[in-house]
Amino acid sequence: MIEFEVYAQGATSNIPAIVYWILLTVFVVGFAVILSSQETQRAQKIARLMLMEWVVLMFCSAIIFRETRAGSAINLVPLSSYFCIAENSYLWEVTSVNILNVVMFLPVGFLLKLGYPQIGWKQVLILGLVFSASIELSQFVFKRGLCEIDDLIHNVVGCMIGYGLMAVTQLLNAKSKL
């Protein structure tokens, strides 16, 4: 558990505290307004704003405020982190990084479905892929972290889980109104 906390803290520690707390506060307030809102269009507009804000937060933590590495690093072997897990080397560290990459993109899928109710899973898949790829490629180009295909896969999985959770929630709400 300590490795997960260290990784999560490292992802946000370089963001200036004022920027981090402003973005986080806006996100939490926006989420509270959505939950309390009875007006669908208002909730959709707030979800769209929160999505843009989450994108900014992700770019801040992954690229803008991250320290520059000595060189660009890239790993294009799909699911290579699972080879480490299978070998029992760095088991918890690798697992926690994979989980964090999924969790970081849950709000993307969730907010896409909430902000754009008519959006389909294919569009969400493509948007999640493009967003994650832009982060990974930016990390490579600007020498800010490791560009990994595993991160891309886990980010897209998180995006799709978030989308699925919101789709099921909307479906249940629609059925309960009948």
Residue-wise DSSP of 18-50:
HHHHHHHHHHHHHHHHHHH---HHHHHHHHHHH
On whether the CB atoms of residues 30 and 42 are closer than 8 A, the answer is no
Q: What pTM value is reported for the model?
A: 0.81
pLDDT tens, position by position, 14-37: 667 787 788 778 878 887 887 777
d(CA 72, CA 141): 7
Domain edges within the chain: 2-177
pLDDT tens, position by position, 147-165: 889 999 999 999 999 999 9
Question: From residue 109, how far is each of 16, 25, 32, 78, 91 by CA, in Å?
Answer: 27, 20, 18, 22, 28
**Residue 89 or 172, more confident:** 172
End-to-end CA distance of the chain: 44
Here the tokens at position 140 are 């490579």
pLDDT tens, position by position, 27-68: 788 878 877 777 888 889 999 999 998 888 888 888 887 777
